[in-house]
Amino acid sequence: MKLALIGFGQAGGKIVDQFVEYDERQGTDIVRAAVAVNTAKADLMGLEHIPENNRVLIGQSRVKGHGVGADNELGAEIAEEDIDEVQGAIDSIPVHEVDAFLVVAGLGGGTGSGGSPVLAKHLKRIYTEPVYGLGILPGSDEGGIYTLNAARSFQTFVREVDNLLVFDNDAWRKTGESVSSGYEEINEEIVRRFGILFGAGEIEEGGEVAESVVDSSEIINTLSGGGVSTVGYASEEVEAPSNNGGGGILSRLKGDDDDDELDSAHTTNRITSLVRKAALGRLTLPCEIDGAERALLVMAGPPQHLNRKGIERGRKWLEEQTGSMEVRGGDYPVRGSGFVASVILLSGVTNVPRIKELQQVAIEAQDNIDEIREESEDNLNDLIQDDDDELESLF
């Protein structure tokens, strides 16, 4: 499906930037427009793939391009004051050509954390297209203020969007590694998962697998109803497709029907095991899959390695595991790919330990708010100092 991507803050901008690169490299044609919004000039200058005209610096009169540190209340105020500047960039998007907006932000910082819910609310007031959020939760080693920001931003963001897709940095941190040193890999993981999910709805029906290709309305229906979503992924390498399409003429001449059946059983088994691995492996937001309200299974790969029976079995298994009556499934044929991959979108998940923890933090924070504010101010001063150094080295 076609998306208008808006990255708010540093993490949001970097992820959208990488999404644009993925889209161009893979030829998936998902990104109809990409915009980055930030209060920090240096962050906008560091982007590589988002067109310069689509980079919006807000809050210049308040923070002079230095960012807001981890002050997400200031981030939210600035977003409200300067929403017209953001709208100015969105005005250049042919909105009638997009299926949805996706607002991407790290929820632990200041600009994206405070600004993304403000933008989502604004977009929903103006446009009829669905507005989805992709919220990144901070690592637990980042400190109290980040957790508190995420707890508060999460509560607002989930209310303002049509669905909040979540990625938890904490669950993806490698042991012995701080989150920041692993961002590159983490961002690739994010872009791969969401790229396959949204790319699936962009394939035109036709050719060999016409019956069961996922279309954008299935993605939209799975996300409708709101709440929080998580995405699972698993892949397996397969032989590069041969030119005569597998068995082809030779096996038919030899009357090799048994081989075909064996192949098809193998294909089905591979699909069902990839579905299990994706659902039971590491999700973007770890949770119990039991109780998910809706799910969508996308099987991506070369058409000859996809079959309806496998997808149907995978879909049924997901129905049993989630207890949901609304599990959709289909394929995403990618000719010439050397992998078969399963992507599972679980929407309306309820049993999420990390979210419960954040809610608890938000409640407890009321008691020691002064301490946290102090930490935030120190943080802001450090950041302004860092930013000054960074800007000086740039000019």
Please report, as ranges, the residues that interact with ligand GDP according to CB under 6 A: 9-11, 14, 106, 108-113, 136, 138-139, 142, 146, 169, 183, 186-187
- The least distance separating ligand GDP from the CB of residue 381, rounded to whole angstroms, comes to 15
CB nearer to ligand GDP: give 319 or 386.
Answer: 386
Phi then psi dihedrals of residue 105, to 5 deg:
-160, 145
Contact 40, 67 (CB under 8 A): yes
Q: What is the DSSP letter of 137?
A: E
CB nearer to ligand GDP: give 77 or 288.
Answer: 77
Q: What is the distance between the alpha carbons of residues 21 and 8, in angstroms, rounded to a whole number? A: 18
Q: What is the distance between the alpha carbons of residues 112 and 387, in angstroms, rounded to a whole number? A: 17
- The least distance separating ligand GDP from the CB of residue 358, rounded to whole angstroms, comes to 13
H/E element holding 374? helix 369-394
Distances (CA, A) of 183 to 15, 178, 201, 255, 338: 10, 9, 27, 53, 26
Q: What is the distance between the alpha carbons of residues 236 and 245, in angstroms, rounded to a whole number? A: 19
- The least distance separating ligand GDP from the CB of residue 284, rounded to whole angstroms, comes to 10
Q: Report helix, strand or coil for 51.
A: coil
CB nearer to ligand GDP: give 156 or 272.
Answer: 156
CB nearer to ligand GDP: give 9 or 232.
Answer: 9
- The least distance separating ligand GDP from the CB of residue 63, rounded to whole angstroms, comes to 11
CB nearer to ligand GDP: give 29 or 388.
Answer: 388
Buried b (16+ CB within 10 A) or exposed e, 189-210: bbbbbbbbbbbbbbbeeeeebe
CB nearer to ligand GDP: give 19 or 332.
Answer: 19
- The least distance separating ligand GDP from the CB of residue 152, rounded to whole angstroms, comes to 13
Q: What is the distance between the alpha carbons of residues 323 and 350, in angstroms, rounded to a whole number? A: 13
- The least distance separating ligand GDP from the CB of residue 299, rounded to whole angstroms, comes to 26
